[in-house]
Amino acid sequence: MTVREDYDLPERTPSPIRVYFVMAAVLIVAFAVWLIVPGAITVAILAVVLLGVVGFGVFKAMSMRRLQEPPGRTPQVPPSAR
């Protein structure tokens, strides 16, 4: 058995890693747009877009299914204690 199976860990990529990639992608795109079209209007539009992305990310994080489910109450002996 693997550690993932022993401790019932999720099969998907951990959230912090996914958040890091999304944040990096948004910053790279914003920087590229700023380099291509410099100006006060572009900076203002990018600021509004970045605030919208952050707000949407917070909304998605707070409405995740895992945060709304109560934690499991099935006590199990860890494999290391067997």
For 10-67, how does the pLDDT look when each residue is reduced to its tens digit (9 = 90+)? 676 667 777 788 778 888 888 888 888 888 888 888 888 888 888 887 787 777 666 5
What pLDDT shows up at residue 71? 59
Phi, psi of 13 (to 5 degrees): -65, 140
Contact 67, 58 (CB under 8 A): no
d(CA 63, CA 68): 7
